Amino acid sequence: MSEPKKLFIKTYGCQMNVYDSERMAEALGGQGYVETQSAEEADMILLNTCHIREKAAEKVYSELGRFKGLKAAKPDLKIGVAGCVAQAEGEEIMRRQPLVDLVVGPQSYHRLPELEAKARAGEKALDTDFPEEDKFEKLKGRPKAKRGPTAFLTVQEGCDKFCAFCVVPYTRGAEVSRPVDRILTEARDLVERGVREITLLGQNVNAYHGAGPNGDMSLAGLIWELDKIDGLERIRFTTSHPNDMTDDLIEAHANCAKLMPYLHLPVQAGSDRILKRMNRSHTADSYLRLVERIRAARPDILMSGDFIVGFPEETEADFQATLDLVEQVRYGYAYSFKYSTRPGTPAAERPQVDPVEADDRLQRLQAVITRHQREIQDSMVGREVSVLFEKPGRLAGQMVGKSEYLHAVHVQAPGLAAGQIARVRIVASRANSLAGEPV
């Protein structure tokens, strides 16, 4: 029997790329590949790329440059680029880096076996189409090996919002939702393999409208269907758009016990003028009223958000409006970034904010966000939470897991095991985690 070929995948970016990398590994598993954590021992290297951050393409080219020595030492090594940079750059990647053997976009990775065979035959393989067939259906089922207690599950891809700063509509395409029955089948399979918490993924996940037995089903409807699966104890979803936070989804947060009290709801800015320039189609006030409604339905919900500072033409007054909104919402988590241009997007052509000023604003915003995060985390001391344990901690007899609010919790209890859910009393708040003891 021949030795299995080894596959090394490096994943950049969001949770959807993590999910995509898992499915790419499965697609190539049928070609005799097993995953390795070492690029040096790989027979194929795949970079699953993200185009959201600044200079994303240049970082990919830099990474590829580091593989020149490996390619020279192992001429049969195949190197591929997948994901959003692959979609955006296409043939340019192969032109700039001749060592690349295949390029595949995020909607075509179910064709990896054919592309790999082409590359093995000495040809360059490129596929950045938006094929009509369902890539998830074309992929082989997930292998039946045991899984950790948490898993991602993509239910929706693409975006129709066309925010002025974002390349997702161009690299991932229009909004597409997977059929309900296929999602439920995959979810049941994950649970059979040990998963107890599933995070539903989508570029705009709460725009989900998948085909169900009685017509299209909303994300709330899908959550209630997942709620019926025995053994699935927790449900989360990310990332959401405020305009698609529907009444039935808010009601699900109020009444579905398996839906965790955590919501990532990006607003991006607190200035109505900037929100309009971003093409966000909501105002700061409509967002704040929405947060009020969500908290009325689920008072203990922990809010998370995204912010862009230094957006083209942002003034100090605009930035102050963002600080004001942050003070009102008080996020348990928030992710903030300095605006960076994405070629081909409307905002890239507008007058840019001075980088020094943008840096200063980012630091000021992050200071406020960090203060709120710390205060909310500290307020957990003395409370009881439910923790899903995922892995052993650094100390003997210690286990680490996540609370329903997504806080990392360390517990010293030798009897606990991965996959177990236990009530824990929080006894201390640390830099990036909580310490607890079993109740």
- Quick one: pLDDT at residue 135? 59
Does position 137 have pLDDT exceeding 80, yes or no?
A: no
Least confident of 83-97, 318-332, 410-424: 83-97
- Quick one: pLDDT at residue 2? 63
- Quick one: pLDDT at residue 63? 87
Does position 374 have pLDDT exceeding 70, yes or no?
A: yes
Task: Label residue 139 by pLDDT band (50, 70, 90).
Answer: low
Does position 54 have pLDDT exceeding 70, yes or no?
A: no
Flag whether 256 is marked binding: no
| Max avg pLDDT among 106-110, 346-350, 409-413 | 409-413
Closest among 293, 240, 231, 283 to 265, alpha carbons compared: 240
348, amino acid identity:
A
- Quick one: pLDDT at residue 53? 60
Return the percentage of the chain with pLDDT > 70, whole number.
95
Token output for 146: 């045991």
- Quick one: pLDDT at residue 344? 81
Does position 6 have pLDDT exceeding 90, yes or no?
A: yes
Count Cα neighbours of 356 within 13 Å in the Cβ-side half-sphere: 0
- Quick one: pLDDT at residue 381? 98
- Quick one: pLDDT at residue 14? 75
Q: Which domains does the chain have, with CATH numbers?
A: 5-127 (3.40.50.12160), 144-260 (3.30.750.210), 296-379 (3.30.750.200), 384-438 (2.40.50.140)
Closest among 349, 416, 405, 418 to 379, alpha carbons compared: 405
- Quick one: pLDDT at residue 29? 85
- Quick one: pLDDT at residue 15? 78
Does position 142 have pLDDT exceeding 60, yes or no?
A: no
Return the percentage of the chain with pLDDT > 90, whole number.
70
Flag whether 50 is marked binding: yes
Q: pLDDT tens-digit profile of 185-242?
A: 999 999 999 999 999 999 999 999 999 999 999 999 999 999 999 999 999 999 999 9
CB 319 within 8 A of CB 345: no
Tell how strand 302-309 and strand 262-264 pair up.
parallel
Task: Label residue 12 by pLDDT band (50, 70, 90).
Answer: confident
CB 409 within 8 A of CB 402: yes
How many Cβ atoms are within 10 Å of 141's Cβ, its own excluded?
9
Distance of alpha carbon 165 from alpha carbon 318, whole angstroms: 17
SS3 144: coil
